[in-house]
Amino acid sequence: MRIERLQVDEGFLDGLDLRLADGLNVLIGPRGAGKTSIIELVRFCLAAPGFSDRSKAQAKEHALSVLGSGQVTITLSTDEGPATVVRTASDAEPRVSGRFEKPLIFSQNEIETIGLIASSRLNLIDFFRTDRDKLRESATHARAEVRSLMSEMRALAQEITELEERAGGAEGLREQLVAAEEEQLGVIQSLGDAEGRWAELDALTSTAAQLAVRDGVYDRVVRSLETWGERAATLVRNKPDVEDWPEAAGGPDPIAAVRASVVDAMASVTASIDVLASRVQGIEELRSANKAQQIETEQQSRDLRNSLEQLQKGGTVISKRISGLREQIAQLDALTPLRMKKLEAWTTLRDSRDTLLDELDSLCEREYEERADVAARLNRQLGPTIRITVQRFGIHTEYVNTIRNVLRGTGLHYNTLAPMLAEKMSPREVLDAVESQDYETLSSIAGIPVDRAARLVAELSKTGTEELVTCELQDSVTLSLLDGGEYKSTEHLSTGQRCTVVLPILLAKEDRVLVVDQPEDHLDNGFIVGTAIEAIRKRKQFGQLIFSTHNPNIPVLGEASLIVLMGSDGRNGFVRHARPLDHPESVEAITTVMEGGLEAFHRRAEFYGDNAESR
């Protein structure tokens, strides 16, 4: 890909129309002329990524201050043909006419700070991975699916617990029933001629229990179907809004098929709602008939009890108690198959979740292997001066913060416990310990007392582990410079040394447009001439480079394809000229702006020559 043209309407660079070349393009000019503004407008228009949240915010703020209410347009040349990208200050995203790969754009502050920030070092390596977006999207999707499944599992587990608690009361009721039936038997024996009536009442009691169970089933099914119907109706009311193709867009409507598909889909959902509504009506009819039979059975039972009451008031009381106990037991026994069905559903969800977690582990392993391969390639290219190492799951920040958030408010010392747990156990190991209630293993691995581990398991069981198990463990990247016979990581290097490590890595990325603002800051000329220039010459053969600089070595020794001299009248920045390196105007610009004038250049040359002869 190549940036061919940059146009700006309104703002500080109003009227700018700059055509860029292949190879190395160098922006030069006095400070405040708009070199950095051009770079930040390119970043803003193409939505090129920043290397930290702070740098993203600063870059956007700069671009918006330069653009005002105007518009920036960039014309690209890609493998798939030309593409145009347009963005105004009010656009949330760029408007594009074709696909393109975003360039790598770095301000000087970003180059300086990449070596200090763990996430920035990781992003730097990830820019060399061709499959990164696909893997990241797959992992994000898998995590979302896991969270959804675990949310369903938690709701089901709560329902199963409630059913178990309710069903647990059946044993006590059975004991009461046995005692009542023994008491009833004594009464029946004392009322020999009433035995037939007692048998009939007993049969009616059993029938009443069956009818009560049926009524409960009908009620649950109707409520379930009506709940689904309400959700489906909401879905239909909130159907996707596929707008009509405007005449101003021209041509035939390319999304007519999508609009028709939405209509068909909504019709299918509406038809399903109607079908289930008719089924609800059918169940209500069954329920109504069942209710009528219940009323009739209860009336028959009352009549029998009333007649038996004349024989023995005590017997009827026992009969009513037995009838009530049997009905309660039958209702609770009917919950057992429902509990088993929900337990089976929970197990299915768990198996699906575990499959997704295995898939997520595989994606993370592939991601680590790709990063390790990138590090190996760069080490071969840039070593031994620069060394890059990748440690799997070396960044625990998100994991630690997630543990803290989950445990906040539980009374546990989460600030102490979170880093300790993150260091010793993976999210998957914590999940297994919580679901199996294995606090002893958690105590052994995490190195915490058993009673504390038991409390931790109990709290995690209540709050849920879906956020914990899906938090992102990132690999860590270390960038090191060979200094005085030993490697020192960028966290312990000076600003200039950090740039000495990062800039060659950036230049090693050969398949993307690379835009760098003042790469020479904090770098000595010896490094620029001896190392950076050679890398720039090699890199410009493979892809476009756009540098802003105050160092003449970069355009001259780097053999720039285009020199862009910027100027300013105090209110606006503008292009004074854009010419090849060997054009007289370019030579004049470099000599005047970057060398301090021809006389200064000659005096330095004379000084160097005289002192060289004297050595």
Distance CA 88, CA 70 (A): 6
Q: Is 582 exposed, middle or buried (0-12, 13-18, 19+ CB in 10 A)?
A: exposed
574 φψ region: left (φ > 0), alpha (ψ -120 to 50), beta (else): beta
Mean pLDDT of the region 448-462: 83
| Residue 431 and residue 321 share a domain | no
| Residue 339 and residue 303 share a domain | yes
Question: Considering the domain boundaries, does residue 551 fall inside one?
Answer: yes
Count of domains forming the chain: 3
Q: What is the largest CA-CA distance in the chain?
A: 142
pLDDT for the residue numbered 576: 93
End-of-domain residue from the set 320, 355, 390: 355
Cα 222 to Cα 158, 216, 230: the distances in Å are 22, 10, 12
Mean pLDDT of the region 246-265: 86
Question: Considering the domain boundaries, does residue 22 fall inside one?
Answer: yes
Per the prediction, the chain carries an average pLDDT of: 85
| Residue 184 and residue 80 share a domain | no
pLDDT for the residue numbered 594: 78
Cα 594 to Cα 140, 247, 523, 533: the distances in Å are 49, 54, 16, 17
Predicted confidence (pLDDT) at residue 520 exceeds the cutoff of 80: no
End-of-domain residue from the set 447, 475, 503: 475
pLDDT for the residue numbered 191: 58
Give 84's DSSP letter. E
If residue 426 lies in a helix (H) or strand (E), which one and from where to where? none
The model's confidence at residue 190, banded by pLDDT at 50, 70 and 90, is low
Mean pLDDT of the region 25-50: 91
204 φψ region: left (φ > 0), alpha (ψ -120 to 50), beta (else): alpha
| Residue 338 and residue 194 share a domain | yes
pLDDT for the residue numbered 429: 85
| Residue 340 and residue 195 share a domain | yes
The model's confidence at residue 473, banded by pLDDT at 50, 70 and 90, is confident
Place of tokens 């050969």: 510
Mean pLDDT of the region 220-244: 87
Q: Provide the percentage of residues in the chain whose pLDDT is more than 70.
A: 93
The model's confidence at residue 281, banded by pLDDT at 50, 70 and 90, is very high
Q: Which of 173-187, 266-280, 543-557 has the lowest mean pLDDT?
A: 173-187
Place of tokens 């292997």: 369
Question: Considering the domain boundaries, does residue 491 fall inside one?
Answer: no
Mean pLDDT of the region 86-92: 92
pLDDT digits (tens, 9 = 90+) for 338-385: 888 989 999 999 999 999 999 999 999 999 999 999 999 999 998 898
pLDDT for the residue numbered 14: 94
Between 508 and 606, the more confident residue is 508
Distance CA 167, CA 164 (A): 5
**CATH code assigned at 171:** 1.10.287
| Residue 308 and residue 216 share a domain | yes
Distance CA 392, CA 478 (A): 12
**Does a cis peptide bond (omega within 30 degrees of 0) precede residue 384?**
yes
pLDDT for the residue numbered 583: 92
Predicted confidence (pLDDT) at residue 193 exceeds the cutoff of 60: no
The model's confidence at residue 317, banded by pLDDT at 50, 70 and 90, is confident
Q: 67: closest CA among 34, 93, 95, 106?
A: 34
Predicted confidence (pLDDT) at residue 434 exceeds the cutoff of 80: yes
Place of tokens 């835009």: 515
Between 477 and 592, the more confident residue is 477
> What residues have CB less than 8 Å from 477, skipping those under 6 apart?
118, 121, 122, 124, 125, 371, 375, 388, 389, 390, 391
Residue ranges making up the domain that contains 14: 2-103+512-582
Q: Is 502 exposed, middle or buried (0-12, 13-18, 19+ CB in 10 A)?
A: buried
With 0.85 as the threshold, say if the pTM is over it: no
> What residues have CB less than 8 Å from 141, skipping those under 6 apart?
none
HSE (side-chain half, CA atoms, 13 Å) at 59: 26
pLDDT for the residue numbered 192: 59
| Residue 270 and residue 169 share a domain | yes
What single letter denotes the amino acid at residue 91? D
Q: 460: closest CA among 447, 469, 448, 473?
A: 469
pLDDT for the residue numbered 403: 83
> What residues have CB less than 8 Å from 470, skipping those under 6 apart?
143, 146, 147, 360, 427
Mean pLDDT of the region 122-149: 89
Question: Considering the domain boundaries, does residue 19 fall inside one?
Answer: yes
Place of tokens 């049926």: 214
pLDDT digits (tens, 9 = 90+) for 559-589: 999 999 999 998 999 999 999 999 999 988 8
| Residue 183 and residue 292 share a domain | yes
Predicted confidence (pLDDT) at residue 128 exceeds the cutoff of 80: yes
